[in-house]
Structure 1
Amino acid sequence: MKKIIVLVLLAAFAFACSSKKEGNMIVEGNIKGLKKGTLYLQKMKDTLLTSVDSVAVFGDGNFRLSDNVDSPVIYYLTFNGNTTNRRILFFGNQGTITINDNIDLFGISPEIKGSENQLVFNKFLEVNSKFKNQRLEFIKKEFEAKKANDEDLLKKLEKDFSNMIRRKYLYTTNFALSNPNSEAAPFIALTELFDANVKLLDTINNSLTPKVKNSDYGKRLDKFIKSIKSNSEK
């Protein structure tokens, strides 16, 4: 009798797993070297990072996750719920997205296919990483100049840093203007130009195609610009 109960429970569990309703976005792939662990599919809801799906991985590193996507937005693939040191950031959209990575270098250089916005975003990240490295170099030089009480060098570094920031803003703006049909454009504006002159944001906003304007990030950018203008009038 006990064996029958166990078999019934196992059958019910298997049916529940197989009948899991999938969304219009499938995220699948392989994390090489992952023998045991849990992968979480997460996205921002308001200001909170929320898990929308998860899967326990055993042995081969293969995984399959899903969610319903109304508009392309950023998702995170995290390992064992760690959202800081071990995560893969990618643009989610309807359809199948394939992500392959290695557990030892998880999140550093994953292979992501199936997202047009991701291709655009990757191009931006390639150049933006150079600006980040330059910023770190300036911080190092500033620390050394302060330690040496070198006022002349500090003034030069301040001027050079300001010029670098202007170049970064110009590059970011031109990149977004060159990709008005990609939801990556308003996302980049929101995350990289939030403290820039509102005229730059306005220029990007006005260049977006109707589809992108009506996307999640397109609406957020428009709302953000309106709030800046409203506060400046007070």
Structure 2
Amino acid sequence: MKKFLFLTAIAFSVISCSKDSGNLNLTGEVKGLKQGTIYIKTAKENGIVTLDSIVFDGKSQFKTNLNIEEPQVLYLSLNRGVSQSQDKNLMFFAEPGEMKITTSLERFYGDAKIEGSKNQELFDKYLASKRNLTNRQNDLIKDQMLYSKSGFQNKADSLEKAIQSTTKRIYLNAVNFALKNKDKEVAPYVAITEIAPISNKYLDTIQKSIPDNIAKSLYGKALIEMNK
């Protein structure tokens, strides 16, 4: 918990918001949305904090400006206006410059297209590779359960090795990604969020591989703190 608080406290401390100026110009569209509110959020020590809110009144496009000192993860949260709950959330890896997010009201998360962030582009590729491995693992688990329920316990047991092997591949896939993309902020982010929760075996290797500018970044500092 202490390590999580360290990370989120840093995230809050480096962001400010301005409607008219900022080094991140964020534009986008939520197709099909006419009424509702978009919230741009970050994590803070005591919870999630709203950095900006954009009210939709007849138009589906939006734009805002934020000041961020470096690439970091933010969240786009949608309140459709039909309830008090904010029932749609989209994570994105923000970077200074021009960014565009387009999605739909019907599939806010599934239809999201995020442009203008190299870290996001790399993270999307990582998530796609992880999804392929996870789908394979789920298929094996389903087959194992079916064999077991049908009384073919030997066949069910024979799949356990394949399941464990796929689990290891999911973990090593994250490690390889972090090492391959060590010159981007997404590398320590994946180490913190995808690797550390499973095992800290490769954290030291990843930490030593990242260049100085990444080590001094938001997630680089958090990785170093976590690896102490």
TM over 0.5: yes
* TM-score (structure 1 length as normaliser): 0.79
Contact 1:35 1:58 in 2 (8 A): yes
Q: Which residue does 1:10 correspond to in 2? A: none
Q: Equivalents in 1 of 2:64, 2:141: separation in Å? A: 40
1:180 aligns with one of 179, 182, 201: 182
Secondary structure of the residue aligned to 1:180 is: coil
Contact 2:19 2:64 in 1 (8 A): no
Q: Which runs of 5+ in 2 are unaligned?
A: 1-17
* TM-score (structure 2 length as normaliser): 0.81
Identify the range of structure 1 (86-95 vs 143-152) with the bigger mean alpha-carbon deviation: 143-152
The answer to whether the aligner puts 1:106 opposite 2:108 as a matched pair is: yes
Contact 2:89 2:109 in 1 (8 A): yes
Contact 1:32 1:60 in 2 (8 A): no
Q: Which residue does 1:24 correspond to in 2? A: 23
Q: Which has the higher helix share?
A: 1
CA RMSD of aligned residues (A): 2.2
Q: Which residue does 2:77 correspond to in 1? A: 78
Larger Rg: 1
Secondary structure of the residue aligned to 2:41 is: strand
Q: Which residue does 1:89 correspond to in 2? A: 91
Q: Which runs of 5+ in 1 are unaligned?
A: 1-18, 227-234
1:83-106 Cα deviation digits (max 9, x unpaired): 6x5222110122221111122221
Contact 1:124 1:175 in 2 (8 A): yes
Identify the range of structure 1 (147-156 vs 215-224) with the bigger mean alpha-carbon deviation: 147-156
1:58: how far off? Answer: 1.8
Q: Equivalents in 2 of 1:154, 1:223: separation in Å? A: 42
Q: Equivalents in 2 of 1:55, 1:223: separation in Å? A: 35
Q: Equivalents in 2 of 1:117, 1:221: separation in Å? A: 17
Q: Which residue does 1:67 correspond to in 2? A: 66
Q: Which residue does 2:166 correspond to in 1? A: 164
What does 1:184-199 correspond to in 2, within 5 Å? 184-199=186-201
| Cα 1:209/1:141, change in 2 over 3 Å | same
1:177: how far off? Answer: 0.9
- Aligned-pair identity in percent equals 33
Q: Which amino acid aligns with 1:114?
A: G
Secondary structure of the residue aligned to 1:49 is: strand
Identify the range of structure 1 (25-34 vs 180-189) with the bigger mean alpha-carbon deviation: 25-34
Contact 1:35 1:57 in 2 (8 A): yes
2:226 aligns with one of 201, 224, 227: 224
1:178: how far off? Answer: 0.9
Contact 2:147 2:156 in 1 (8 A): yes
Q: Which residue does 1:57 correspond to in 2? A: 56
Q: Which residue does 2:37 correspond to in 1? A: 38
Q: Equivalents in 2 of 1:31, 1:25: separation in Å? A: 19
Identify the range of structure 1 (126-135 vs 182-191) with the bigger mean alpha-carbon deviation: 126-135
Q: Which residue does 2:10 correspond to in 1? A: none
Matched residue count: 207
1:161-209 Cα deviation digits (max 9, x unpaired): 1100111222221111111111111111112112444331211111111
1:158: how far off? Answer: 2.2
Secondary structure of the residue aligned to 1:107 is: coil
